[in-house]
Chains A and B, each alone.
Chain A
């Protein structure tokens, strides 16, 4: 029987409860939806300082001779990470648009083979979208045998459109032990190719 819009007819409790339960489930799902939404939002705005994936330099890009930017490098270990990890170059002055290579030194002083993953963070976050990496050790996990050491390369370009008031960028890497975790993180080891910012 179709429901008549008679205002004295009692509304069905079942209907109200169904709507409320639907709202509850919807908001529970929304809580989880905030995770990818947050990632997308941060990718677009760069506000959490996570630099993007592999960048393909366009041939037309020229270096800006009239301007210099200081780039500082910081390396630190995550909790219970025993490796020696430091930047070979602590600070470098570059022109925007100029590809630059720097190295990071890593050594596994323990008696067993280990796998590490570096996670980048850039400050100020406002510069995140203007810092491009054409090659980075953080794109892949880094295995090292017991006692082995290596120099890991990073090739980066500071975008010519970097806002004028930013004269210094600080790139920090945190190295996490992934030996036992065996998990491949989605955000860092699956580099996306970003070409739209050139």
Chain B
């Protein structure tokens, strides 16, 4: 009896439980962070496979591989899985791993809720992915699920999609509450708000955005649920509703959502660039205020997604100027990163390569966003491949390169081993070339008038589409290399020092590598 109690106590105090229960019942922020990251990468490969189906079909004009109905399911599921399954959980995983280490806390503030908010995610995505096998197929109305496409004309599986969104929304909100409670309550003595690392700052603001808009998403899918199953008419004109209302409510969520997917990457890059420039971050305070300004502005720009549905001229002007205003704080951040690198002692290890590519390519995506913000020009670009090019430029080299940069930067801390630098650089260059080959031609396709979400296209678009598909296959295949690099790094490799990057700063580098199961049982003093 006492032996059992002893073992238990030992397991509790000195290391993880063994077997599957470690992962099912864990309340440890590092375990949960790892599970989030693994889940996210699994979803990334699944959503990526769907992207490969899309690009394979678009390799040549005409219908070769899939039927239009299935093609629509692929575009929809690709978007949903990448946004809610890959990018958002990856950032929550990074937050779980790094926030307590960065602020000198022993764990997240609400560890049990942390466990629950993770385990809801696989349930949500099991429901979502299972719709592919239902009669009538998976949702096929695009990730924006505009009514009445998703209500009157949606497949029977739409109700499952709605519940999946509900569950993943609850998971995100619980994750956000946990982040806020951790950052507000568990900072080490002496760490004032304006001494917090930028990743902590950006996540704090992201968490507030999540709490502000995920409930609105839950609301809009609930209205859909009632329209479909209970005979209400929120979006049904015959009953006095209005489909345009759907777009307003959806984009009130949808626009802050795009900042939810980029702000944590801003934070991570603000650690990585100073580390490999061997300089302090230029303009810390302005970085914090810029993130705050972006977050606030993100609430008053939503109708720029809807210029073509008939916004009055005054509304178009307002939303156009408000959107362009976001370029100001974003520009502050870009210039600060460049100023950090200016006259720095630069080296280009894999995290830095991804971070520099992030700055350059995200800026390209930002500029195409400015073009789209111009209301009169938007009528030409709306729903063309130009839009597809724009948001893939901010999400792939933005969010995803930010996640890769973070992964390489902190892998030594997580695993205790250095990753294979040669393979990592190969991963970077193949990703960089593949990604640009895949998405840059889409700008030209869109300007020439190719609509998005179609399985077939006019012959004049054939060449650019083939280039784009080749780039996409290259980018997709390269991600298996990332998997190999991570597995190799987990299994062995050169021992990592507590601070493997000479220019890195922060509390996370004061604990040994790999980070022990329990860290900062007594809080460090921050001066």
Contact = CB atoms under 8 A, between A and B. Distances in A.
Query: Do A and B come from the same complex?
Result: yes
Interface of A: 8, 10-13, 16-17, 20-21, 23-28, 30-32, 34-35, 38, 42, 45, 47-50, 78-79, 117, 119, 125-126, 174, 176-178, 181, 183, 185-188
A8 B189 CA distance: 7
Interface in B296-315: 310-312, 315
Interface string B227-259: 000010110011110101100110010000000
B228 to A, nearest CB: 14
A187 B152 contact: no
Contact of A21 (B177, B214, B245, B312): B177
Contacts of A177: 238
Nearest to A119: B237
B131 to A, nearest CB: 24
A85 B255 CA distance: 41
A48 B181 contact: no
Interface stretch (B120-128, B216-224, B404-412): B216-224
A158 to B, nearest CB: 20
B189 A30 contact: no
A126 B312 contact: yes
Given A16-B185, A79-B152, A34 B249 contact: yes
B215 A27 contact: yes
A78 B238 contact: yes
Contacts of B242: 38, 42, 48, 50
B219 A28 contact: yes
Nearest to B310: A125
Contacts of A188: 240
A8 B223 CA distance: 45
B216 A31 contact: yes
Nearest to A47: B312
16 contacts: A12-B185, A16-B181, A25-B215, A27-B214, A27-B216, A30-B219, A31-B216, A31-B220, A31-B252, A32-B223, A119-B238, A125-B312, A181-B239, A183-B231, A185-B239, A186-B240
B88 interface: no
Contacts of B176: 20
A28 B245 contact: no
B185 A13 contact: yes
Contacts of A48: 242, 244, 310
A30 B216 CA distance: 7
Nearest to B212: A27
Given A10-B185, A13-B109, A45-B312, A31 B231 contact: no
Contacts of B233: 183, 185
B177 A17 contact: yes
Interface in B114-153: 152
Contacts of A126: 312
Contact of B252 (A26, A34, A174): A34
A176 B212 CA distance: 37
Contact of B240 (A25, A32, A34, A187): A187
B209 to A, nearest CB: 11
A35 B181 contact: no
A38 B248 contact: yes
A35 B231 contact: no
Interface of B: 109-110, 152, 173, 176-177, 180-181, 184-185, 189, 211-220, 223, 231, 233-234, 237-240, 242, 244-245, 248-249, 252, 310-312, 315
A23 B177 CA distance: 10
B110 A17 contact: yes
B184 A20 contact: no
B185 A11 contact: yes
B238 A178 contact: yes
Contact of B181 (A17, A42, A49, A174): A17
Most B C-beta atoms less than 10 A away, residue of A17, A24, A45, A187: A24
Contacts of B109: 13, 16
A30 B249 CA distance: 10
Contact of A176 (B238, B310, B315): B238
A23 B218 contact: no
Given A16-B184, A50-B242, A125-B310, 8 more contacts: A13-B185, A21-B177, A27-B216, A28-B218, A31-B216, A32-B223, A35-B245, A183-B239
Contacts of A32: 219, 223
Nearest to A183: B239
A20 B211 contact: yes
Contacts of A24: 173, 177, 211, 214-215
Closest 6 CB pairs of A and B: A31-B219, A176-B238, A187-B240, A185-B240, A28-B215, A27-B215
Most B C-beta atoms less than 10 A away, residue of A27, A183, A188: A27
Contact of A181 (B218, B220, B231): B231
Contacts of B234: 35
Contacts of B244: 48
Nearest to A18: B177
Nearest to A28: B215
A191 to B, nearest CB: 12
A48 B248 CA distance: 12
Contact of B245 (A10, A38, A117): A38
A28 B252 CA distance: 12
Nearest to B249: A34
Contact of A31 (B110, B211, B215, B311): B215
B342 to A, nearest CB: 38
A54 to B, nearest CB: 16
A79 B148 CA distance: 12
A5 B245 CA distance: 46
Contacts of A119: 237-238, 240
A192 to B, nearest CB: 13
Nearest to A26: B215
Contacts of A23: 211-212
B216 A28 contact: yes
Contacts of B218: 28, 31
Contacts of B231: 181, 183
Contacts of A183: 231, 233, 239
A53 B369 CA distance: 41
Most A C-beta atoms less than 10 A away, residue of B181, B185, B189, B311: B181
